[in-house]
Structure formats: structure tokens, C-alpha cells
Structure 1
Amino acid sequence: MLEVASIAHWIQEETGTSVDGIDCALRYAQFRQYDDRVTAHRAESYQSIQLQNAHFAPIMANGYRVSIGFYTEDPTRESVVTYACYGTLLHRQYVLTAASCLEEYRNHSIIVRANEVTKLTPAKVGEFRVVEDSHYLDEAYVARVHIHPEFSEIPLKNDLALLQLDVNEFSFEKSFKPACLWPRDSFKLQEFQTSGHGPRRSAEVRADESLLNDRRSTELYVISKPLTDGCPLNLTQNQICVGDSVTIVPRTCQLNRGSAMSREIWVLNSNIFDYVFAIGSKGENCGFNTPATFTKIAPYINWIDSVMFKGQGKVFDLGIFHDQTQPQFQ
């Protein structure tokens, strides 16, 4: 029997495709959602996915999730917006996110996109692959950024910030509304939903083979569980480790910083509410084999209320975005 390893170089030259194990796994990582362990039902043109069994699944828009973009105003050229963080809409004028993500873009103006609409359609008849068309219906500029007064990058502590939005015309509906915050410091739930992004698309991948045609990354639902093993030694009582003991292909799932750790809960007359328990601060491979760190929300409810309803907090003013005013830190 001939060992494949001995002819790997020849295979690579003939096919023009890398046979490296990591490269191969990355090429097919997007098909993880079609594993039999994940799929609940398949038909000719679609399949349903059991999220509780999945490590990855295509993300569906949360009504409260926003995408946060940063740009530098320059009257001589068109601004390029870098969308690098996510946030949770709490109010028509306030978004909760991770302070550490904002610090990287301290001298930039900020814009948020909200009310994401997603449509999934079969890529080809008879194939279990979908194409996602996703876009945001609303956007708003950020007037002020409220960093938690005790925020620290090293060591990472109190990693929360509130974005105060400019006047906007958000129109809430069933699929687009502010989040509910979990007010208790403890919770007995064992599984939560977070989000991450998949491997960056390479130039060799054809558009019709990508799960998302119009994005440079694939967004994913990730099922996470509270963990104790492998957590950072400097974890504070206001932080929580989440993840999974499973090891995945490196770079196939990176945590969306500022994204929510959430869970649907049945309360009051069988109504379902989607509660946010924590905000993502730091994590490699979305917590698989290396726990991700989240900041719990409950200990900060009073601070959130003080900013939203009393205007207190450590603030830096971003001014009016339609001129060249630079952020003023206080």
C-alpha cells in the first residue's frame, strides 16, 4: 500500500491545490453545518439545523445586534469605514459594547448599522448549500462614547462601554427591538448563543461556493457553555469563561468582539424573551479548546442606568460627524 504522504508533493503540483492538513480543513470548514450530528432534517432544497448540537451554523439577525464601524474624516477623499466591533441595542439612543474594541479606534468617528435583514436561498437545486443576502436597513452616527470609569486593558477588567447615538429614525418592530438585560448575577443555564466570524475568504474561492457572497467573512452562531478549566488566572468575579472542550481548525471561528452572549427564555404567559447575559471581550477560536472571556452585565446594571437616565459616567465627545471635529476626551 502506497503512503499518500510520499506522493503529496506530486499531488499538489498536479492539482495546484495545497494538501497541507490545516489548509484542507480550512477549505471545508464552512461545511461543518452539514454534518449529520448537526442536521435535524434534510429535503431537496433545504435543511434544518439543531443549534444545540452545532458548533457552527449560519447566523440569523438578532433584532438588537448592531455592527460598529470606524472611520477618519478627510474632506479630500471618501471615508473608508472599518466595521470591527459589534454591539447590543438597549435603547433608541444607546448601544452596549466592549470598551477594549473601541480603544483601538480612539481617534476615529463612529457609525452603527442596525436592523439587519437576512435572506437565505439555495445555491443550486439539489445541493445542501445556501447563499445569504444580508444588509442593514438603518444606521446612526455616534455622538458620545461612555467608557466604564474603572475600565482597564491590562489586566482586562470592566470591559464595557455605551455608545450614545445621534438623533435617528429607528422604527422598532417585532424583528428589530432593544435587548432585554439579565439583571441577576447568577444563572443556572448551561448553554448560550454567541457569534463569531469564520475563515477569511481567499481569492481562489469562487463566489458561488461561498456561504456569503458579499462579505469577506462568514458569520456564525456558536453554542457556548460556562467553563472553569483553562480560564485566565486573572479572571475577575465580573467576568465569565465560555466555550467548548472541542478543538477546531485554527482560524475557523474568531469571537465577534462586543457581541452578546444570549439565550431565549420563556417567561410570563409563555412569552419568549431573548436575554443578554454578557458581552464578548476576548477569545481565540470562539472559545473552542481555549475559553473566551465575557463581561457579565448584571454587576453593571446600575452604571448602565446612570448613564442612560442620568447622564453620569466617564465620557469622550465625538462631536458632530458631518464636519472635521476630532474626538475630545474628558
Structure 2
Amino acid sequence: MSFAVCLAFLWWMLANRGSAQLLDVNCAAVSTHSGDLSFNSTWMALVVLPNKTCSGALIHKQFIITSASCIFKQGNAIVRLGQLNSDKEHGISDEYRIEEYQVHSSYIHSFYDENNMGHDIALLELQNEVLYKANIRSICIWLNETEVDTQMYTSFNTARWVIDEESTQPRVLTSKIRHFTRSRCQSAFKIHLRSSHICAGYEKNIKCPGIGSPLYKSIRYNKELYTLFGIQSYGDFRTCLYTDVTSYIDWILGIVLSVDVIVPKNSHAQDS
């Protein structure tokens, strides 16, 4: 980390003593219930752009993480949060409805390369802070990379937005996905992969979740916490390419903690 980020991080640790290994100490535990309702993937964000939609994940009360390819050369964005993992839609309190947030600023990694999908990562700063509820809560990001070694896991979880005829609201569909060697993605996509790439996919002919969709797993930290590992950069059927979020911890901290030395807003931000 740069000196500026280290100073900001030290201040942040003192302010969040006891839980400083997590970007957001209030991030989502594995089981989230409210009465007879069950909530899943409470961090899932639907990024609505002028001519397309893509996915993202809430990582902080005012920040969404997604892929740079999602928002690159796009206009104003709206983020929708909050999904109900239940067949009951009628008679449900408005407390659990989907909420919309305007995007104040978007931050694309300065080394993003659309030709080889390098550094395909972006952050969206919301105009207002998110009010956490049973159906809206951030996913965890571990700040200590040694605690979440991506290479040690043979499988992950993924999530995608789906809209079906039987539901009046979009819902999130989760699934398991296998961790492949990077050479498999290199062969499939004919590009040179970086150490900050994760290759994953399916043995069957299953479609990849979609641009900006999260790659995650539950990790125990006093209790089981949903932990973010990657954001989908590219993929079609069977083979999916992700940006390894754990490789960009200092970049994320630089923006979330407003350390302009490491992330100059005039070069990284696209104000909406």
C-alpha cells in the first residue's frame, strides 16, 4: 500500500477496532431471516444504464463494485438494491421492496484495457448512503489477503439477476461454479491472463452469470460471512473470466477512504 493509504487505513482500523479485517463491519452473514421470510444475496445490485443493464455488488454503505466493462463509455447510472428470496410477494411490507439509488461518481481502474480485459474493475459511489435492512446488506471484503487465498478454493458461488413471468420483481438466482486453471481461460479466450484474473466455469453447457456478477464464498470469522472474491469480466457458456477483487484491496481502500493521493479523482472518476 502507498503511504497515504496506510495512514488512512490506520485511522480506519482505530475507528473500527476489533473488526478491522473487514471493509464493512456490518457485511452480510450467511443466514438472513426476518420472520417467515428468507433473504439471500442481499448485496446484489442491478446497474441500470441508458442502453443496458449489468450486475454489481454492494461492498459498503455508499459503494457498489462492478466491472469496468459494465460502465465503460456509458452515461448516467441507477443502482437497484434489495431482492426477496420468497414466493410471497403479496402483502409484504414496503420495507422489503427494491430501492433505487442514483450514482454520484464512477471510478474505473486507470489501467483498464478493454482489449484484453486487464484491470476490469470499477466502483460506483452512490449519491446517498444505503440504509441496511434484512434484504439489503453489503457483501464482505477481507482486507488481509493472507486470510482469503483465492487459489486454495476449488469452487465458488455465483449470483445472477433473473426475471420470470411469475414474478413482478427481478430475483436473484445463485449457483455453484468450479475454479479452473487460468490456462483454460487463456485457451478459450485467446488472451494472456494476469495473476489478477480468476478462471471459473461449468462442466455442462451453462451460461455465465453476466458482466459484473459476483464470485463469492462463505468464510468463517466468528460466524459465517459471505466474502467477495471476484467480479465477472467476460464469459459466454461454460468458461467465465473474473477479476480477482483481492488483488485490488489498496485501490478499493483508496477510493472508499477518499485517499486522493492514490486515486486522483480527475483521472479515475467519471462524474455523472
- The TM-score normalised by the length of structure 2 is 0.70
C-alpha spacing 1:278/1:65, structure 2 compared with 1 (3 Å): same
Taking the aligned partners of 1:136 and 1:61, their CA distance within structure 2 comes to 14
Partner of 1:264: helix, strand, or coil?
A: strand
Q: CA deviation at 1:83?
A: 5.5
Taking the aligned partners of 1:66 and 1:218, their CA distance within structure 2 comes to 11
Q: Which moved more, 1:299-308 or 1:61-70?
A: 61-70
Runs of 4+ deviating beyond 4 Å: none
1:161 aligns with 2:122: yes
Judge conservation of contact 2:208–2:235 (CA < 8 Å) in 1. Answer: yes
Task: Report the number of matched residues.
Answer: 214
Q: Percent of aligned positions with the same letter in both sequences? A: 22
Which residue of the partner structure matches residue 45 of structure 2? 66
Judge conservation of contact 1:196–1:219 (CA < 8 Å) in 2. Answer: yes
1:101 aligns with 2:70: yes
Higher relative contact order (CA 8 A, sep 6+): 2
Aligned with residue 108 of structure 2, among 127, 138, 147: 147
Judge conservation of contact 2:43–2:82 (CA < 8 Å) in 1. Answer: yes
**Counterpart amino acid of 1:162?**
L
Provide the alpha-carbon RMSD of the alignment: 2.7
Taking the aligned partners of 1:111 and 1:85, their CA distance within structure 2 comes to 11
**Counterpart amino acid of 1:302?**
D
Aligned with residue 79 of structure 2, among 91, 102, 112: 112
Partner of 2:269: helix, strand, or coil?
A: strand
CA-to-partner distance for each residue in 1:169-206, whole Å, 9 max, x for gaps? x32134422221144272322221112467x97xxxxx
C-alpha spacing 1:83/1:182, structure 2 compared with 1 (3 Å): farther
Judge conservation of contact 2:83–2:135 (CA < 8 Å) in 1. Answer: no
1:266 aligns with 2:226: no
Which residue of the partner structure matches residue 270 of structure 2? 316
Partner of 1:180: helix, strand, or coil?
A: coil
Which residue of the partner structure matches residue 200 of structure 2? 242
Aligned with residue 231 of structure 2, among 279, 283, 287: 279
CA-to-partner distance for each residue in 1:201-242, whole Å, 9 max, x for gaps? 7xxxxx5xxxx4346x88532211111253124111100100
Taking the aligned partners of 2:97 and 2:69, their CA distance within structure 1 comes to 24
Which residue of the partner structure matches residue 57 of structure 1? none
Taking the aligned partners of 1:141 and 1:255, their CA distance within structure 2 comes to 24
C-alpha spacing 1:100/1:164, structure 2 compared with 1 (3 Å): same
1:220 aligns with 2:177: no
Partner of 1:63: helix, strand, or coil?
A: coil
Q: For structure 2, which runs of at least 5 residues remain unmatched after alignment? A: 1-38, 89-95
Taking the aligned partners of 1:148 and 1:317, their CA distance within structure 2 comes to 14
Partner of 1:176: helix, strand, or coil?
A: coil
Judge conservation of contact 2:47–2:56 (CA < 8 Å) in 1. Answer: yes
Q: CA deviation at 1:315?
A: 1.0
Q: CA deviation at 1:254?
A: 4.0
Aligned with residue 231 of structure 1, among 163, 170, 185: 185
- 1:8-157 equivalent positions in 2, closer than 5 A: 61-71=40-50, 84-103=53-72, 106=74, 108-120=75-87, 136-157=97-118
C-alpha spacing 1:115/1:247, structure 2 compared with 1 (3 Å): closer
Taking the aligned partners of 1:120 and 1:235, their CA distance within structure 2 comes to 41
1:194 aligns with 2:158: yes
